[in-house]
Amino acid sequence: MTGHIPGTTVLRRHPSEQASFSLGSNQVGLRAANERLVLSLIRTHGQLSKAQIAELTGLTAQTASVIARSLVEAGLLVAGAPVRGKVGQPFVPLSLHAAGAMFFGLHVGEREAHLVLVNFTGLVVAERRFSLEGRTLGDVAALARKAVVDIRSDFDAEANARLQGIGVAVAAGRHEAQSAPHLAEVDETLLALGRQLHLATYISSDAVAACSGELIYGLGSGVPSFAYLFIGDSLGGGLVQNGQIHFARDAAGLGIGKVPVPGLDGATVPLWTLVEHPDAISDERRLAALARGIAHAVYSVSVTIGCELAVIDGLLPPAVRRRIVVSVKSELARLDAGMAAKLAIREGTSERRAVSLGAACLPLVDRFFPQAEISSGATLSRSD
């Protein structure tokens, strides 16, 4: 196994049969922990000099220089024009090379599928959408394959070599649909897609993909720990702790969606049931109940693990999401004014493309971010 999304409990990684472009200082991909660390630091800070890299990592100046040079030669970093400071020699800022690597992200929703091609800096360079009405998962995989082939048709050998995988996020749907046979069918269908495309395939739920995108590109990029809730056809939620993503793989696992909260009629229910009804976000009374439930769930999580940020995102109109956030803040203030003052409640940042962007982050994190010990609930699969 060549890697994983650190700490996730929902990711399934399927290596392709064809090796991808070899990056870094060896022939099997970007493995060196120091190279991954340098790339993640530059992603966070925007640009760094070799001296700053040495200072932030604790590496010697010589080691930092060797790593930086190898990453520039691999096409992952680009050197800017020298900058003269107030004292000392000019320094050369290093930043991510947008064309250094590319990743496909596919969101298979309940009604629509969305495919994106994302470059190394997170810019969407190509995308396709197609309706899922009357189509099976096999039909969706066939459409996705055709779209990927179409996008790659204009690529030269170098661009094709820099494709690092495809992440696929599948709508969680109703909890009762997440049976072991259902998940196995999803895995096998999408694994076949990866084999046909000769791309490593990463499979997750829509919630964890969106959370991955938020962690890398959104509010979480500067926050090591936060609670994340994703409202779609169901409600998924999990935690990011010290940069590690913790979500339940299926209905049997733990998750914010299972936190008991007051329901519409006052009875205690799991949080996820508050979005079961088709009018959950259009009916004022149901929307208020959802906000109240989220406030109770976030409060429970915060007093337990001490997080200071909760991000609320989902496949929602921006105005609706904003209303939910405002209502959650009000409900939280009623529960505990002191906690409301310390706990920030914010909207997610990626809006409609949150899930597909997040899906593209799955191979990005696996290939180019520092790795950590995977949590005990993780499930990773191999095709060989």
> What pLDDT does residue 235 have?
84
In the 3-class helix/strand/coil scheme, how is 50-85 assigned residue by residue?
HHHHHHHHCCCHHHHHHHHHHHHHCCCEEECCCECC
pLDDT range class, residue 365, cuts 50, 70, 90:
confident
Nearest to 230 by CA among 359, 358, 327, 348: 348
> What pLDDT does residue 278 have?
63
Mean pLDDT of the chain: 81
| Residue 27: CA count within 13 A, CB half-sphere | 0
- Which residues are bridge partners to 350 per DSSP? none
Reported as type and span, the H/E element at residue 131 is strand 124-131
pLDDT range class, residue 18, cuts 50, 70, 90:
very low
> What pLDDT does residue 333 have?
94
- Higher per-residue confidence, 161 vs 379: 161
| pLDDT > 60? residue 380 | no
Strand order in the sheet with 226-231: 244-246, 235-241, 226-231, 309-314, 344-347
Q: What is the pTM of this model?
A: 0.81
- Higher per-residue confidence, 253 vs 2: 253
| pLDDT > 90? residue 234 | no
Nearest to 324 by CA among 348, 299, 288, 279: 288
The string of pLDDT tens digits covering residues 241-283 is 877 777 655 544 457 888 899 998 889 999 988 987 766 778 8
> What pLDDT does residue 379 have?
32
pLDDT range class, residue 22, cuts 50, 70, 90:
very low
| pLDDT > 80? residue 295 | yes
**How many CB atoms lie under 10 A from the CB of residue 288?**
16
pLDDT range class, residue 133, cuts 50, 70, 90:
confident
- Which residues are bridge partners to 240 per DSSP? 226, 245
> What pLDDT does residue 97 have?
97
> What pLDDT does residue 179 have?
54
> What pLDDT does residue 345 have?
94
CA distance 295 to 339: 11
- Higher per-residue confidence, 378 vs 150: 150
3-state class (DSSP) for residue 46: coil
Q: Give the chain's domains with CATH numbers.
A: 33-79+89-98 (1.10.10.10), 101-211+354-368 (3.30.420.40), 219-348 (3.30.420.40)
> What pLDDT does residue 246 have?
73
The string of pLDDT tens digits covering residues 71-100 is 999 999 999 998 887 777 788 999 999 999
CA distance 68 to 49: 9
Burial of 153: CB neighbours in 10 Å, binned 0-12, 13-18, 19+:
exposed
The predicted model gives 202-218 an average pLDDT of: 85
The predicted model gives 290-311 an average pLDDT of: 90
Percentage above 90 pLDDT, the chain: 41
Who contacts 271 (Cβ-Cβ below 8 Å, separation ≥6)?
A: 235, 237, 256, 257, 258, 259, 260, 261, 293, 294, 296, 297
The string of pLDDT tens digits covering residues 99-123 is 999 999 999 988 889 999 999 999 9
pLDDT range class, residue 290, cuts 50, 70, 90:
very high
